[in-house]
Structure 1
Amino acid sequence: MAEVATSATSDQLLVVIDPVARRTDGESVRIAKDVLGAGAQTKLCLPDGPEEFARALARRGSRRPVVIGDDRALVRAVALLHRRRELAACALSLVPVGGALDLARSLGVPTGAVAAARAVLEGVERRMDLLVDDSDGVVLGAVRIPPLGAAPAPEAEPGRPWLRTCQSLVRTLVPSRPSRIASAPETGPARLRVEVDGKTLVDLHQSVRTVSVVPGASGTARVEVRPASVGAEASPLAAEGRTVTVSGAHFRYRADALVSGPVRTRTWEVREEAWGIVLPAR
């Protein structure tokens, strides 16, 4: 993932607090607000949903946006700025609060409220590569395509353990019904064509287990295909390029923390240094 560090100093911040963060860890949200407010002029925004979240970013003016939330909130902010074609002139900051924080960790954002808020105030902007698909969707981290019939399960919604408890209780009380497993599609290899910069890495005649696409270095994406095999595990096929196209039978895929599809074809293109995030100075 390519990076370019530049100064991110600004004494005016727009702090957008995602509703999931407010519900799951109000104490971390309060700590982050206190640290940010002590070091900069802040305007707080507490959106109740995606529409208000989008309006807050659109009306930020010259203020530097700071998102308090999880990976989904960060991806949402990048996607909104991308659609408005404002990513090039905007450096985002993130204070990770919530259940899904794998992307934040991989980017180098501190996961503690105090350390993350201090990085917002004292850090530097680093420009990162971005994957943009043919429906104008964005990917900050990785794309994963699982085996056929094993669609990537959405992560459990944070802050709602009572829901899982209720679902478990209902399952124990409701009489079981005849199983329909036999009629469901079996988990197994998929037949997909994977092309990297127009060259075929794997074609439809060869079954594959998984496909992954990850931003690499110098404006390229790293592609890995794990073929299906009999007996010993087959060696993965790998390539790097600027555009990746996957096509074939309908498939679902996980892009960052979101599951999309089914689609018959999808193309991702690397946009070099397309977005910026403020990280601790090295």
Structure 2
Amino acid sequence: MAEVATSTTSDQLLVVIDPVARRRDGESVRIAKDVLSAGAPTKLCLPDGPEEFARALARRGSRRPVVIGDDRALVRAVGLLHRRRELAACALSLVPVGGALNLARSLGVPMGAVAAARAVLDGAERWMDLMVDDSDGVVLGAVRIPPLGAAPVREAAVGHPWLRTCRSLVRTLVPPRPSGTAVAPGSGPARLRVEVDGETLVDLHQPVRAVSVAPGARGTARVEVRPASVGAEASPLAAEGRAVTVSGAHFRYRADAVVSGPVRTRTWTVQEAALGLVLPTR
């Protein structure tokens, strides 16, 4: 992801603690609060839900916003500031606490509460590209479109032991499908049109198994399409551009930690250096 480093501006912090983080790992939350409070003037907010989370960010004043939470909390904060057209006015900080932290790790956020809190105090702003879709949704990392008919697993349900137990029981009770049995409609490759800056990379006549859109060189997104094939695996198709449109049959997609859809068309456009994130100095 393209980025530009600058020094941080305000010494006053608004620390918004996501309720999921408080429930999952109260000790890490406490450690992060102690480190932050010892290093800078800090106002703590403990929202009980998304509406209070949004109000806390909206009333931050001149304070630098710090989110203690997981990937979803980070994406929620970025989305709120984007819709208020305030992303350019401040850089966010994240202390990662919770279950889903792959996005935070990929962005360079330290994984320990102490290290992440110290980066909030001593780090530098790094301005990164951001993808925005035509429904005003934001994407910090990658968009992935699975095969048509693939059942998306919601992030909130993944960690429940009882759900894993039920799935294991179903697998033991249902016999494997014999070779040659017909596949249920909608469970095969998708037929999608993928356009990059107005140029068609793949059209509806070519079934595809997967599409990914991820940050590329500065100001562009990197697109990879994996065509369906018979026999030898087909080579992936790749391109880079500022605007990517996927259309065709109804499809679901995963953007960062959230599964969305089904939709018939979606366009993602890169906004250069639109997201400021405070990260450790190099």
1:32 alignment counterpart: 32
Q: Output aligned runs, 1:69-218, within 5 Å.
A: 69-157=69-157, 161=160, 163-164=162-163, 168=166, 185-218=185-218
Q: Does the alignment pair 1:236 with 2:252?
A: no
1:13 alignment counterpart: 13
The amino acid that maps onto 1:96 is: P
2:248 alignment counterpart: 248
Decide whether the 8 Å contact of 1:9 with 1:122 is kept in 2. no
Per the normalisation by structure 2, the TM-score is 0.92
Q: Among the aligned pairs, what percent are the same residue? A: 84
Please give the alpha-carbon distance, in whole angstroms, between the structure 1 residues aligned to 2:96 and 2:157: 16
Please give the alpha-carbon distance, in whole angstroms, between the structure 1 residues aligned to 2:220 and 2:152: 25
Per the normalisation by structure 1, the TM-score is 0.92
Please give the alpha-carbon distance, in whole angstroms, between the structure 2 residues aligned to 1:235 and 1:185: 26
Query: SS of 1:82's equivalent?
Result: helix
Decide whether the 8 Å contact of 2:157 with 2:163 is kept in 1. no
Decide whether the 8 Å contact of 1:131 with 1:139 is kept in 2. yes
Query: SS of 2:281's equivalent?
Result: coil
Stretches of structure 2 that go unaligned for 5 or more consecutive residues are 175-181
How many residues align? The count is 275
Please give the alpha-carbon distance, in whole angstroms, between the structure 1 residues aligned to 2:41 and 2:160: 37
Q: Deviations over 1:162-204 (max 9, x none)?
A: 6537x739x79xx99xxxxx89535211100000000000000
Could you tell me how far 1:221 is from its partner in structure 2? 0.2
- Aligned-residue Cα RMSD (Å) equals 2.2
Decide whether the 8 Å contact of 1:13 with 1:66 is kept in 2. yes
Could you tell me how far 1:152 is from its partner in structure 2? 3.0
1:179 alignment counterpart: none
Decide whether the 8 Å contact of 1:151 with 1:253 is kept in 2. no
2:179 alignment counterpart: none
Please give the alpha-carbon distance, in whole angstroms, between the structure 1 residues aligned to 2:23 and 2:214: 32
Decide whether the 8 Å contact of 1:151 with 1:252 is kept in 2. no
Query: SS of 1:152's equivalent?
Result: coil
User: Kindly tell me: are residues 183 and 204 of structure 1, through their superposed partners in 2, closer, same or farther at Cα, counting changes over 3 Å?
Assistant: closer
Please give the alpha-carbon distance, in whole angstroms, between the structure 1 residues aligned to 2:33 and 2:138: 28
Could you tell me how far 1:99 is from its partner in structure 2? 0.4
Please give the alpha-carbon distance, in whole angstroms, between the structure 2 residues aligned to 1:186 and 1:204: 15
Query: SS of 2:155's equivalent?
Result: coil
Could you tell me how far 1:229 is from its partner in structure 2? 0.2
Could you tell me how far 1:156 is from its partner in structure 2? 4.2
1:68 alignment counterpart: 68
Could you tell me how far 1:139 is from its partner in structure 2? 0.3
Q: Does the alignment pair 1:280 with 2:255?
A: no
Query: SS of 2:65's equivalent?
Result: strand
Decide whether the 8 Å contact of 1:4 with 1:127 is kept in 2. yes
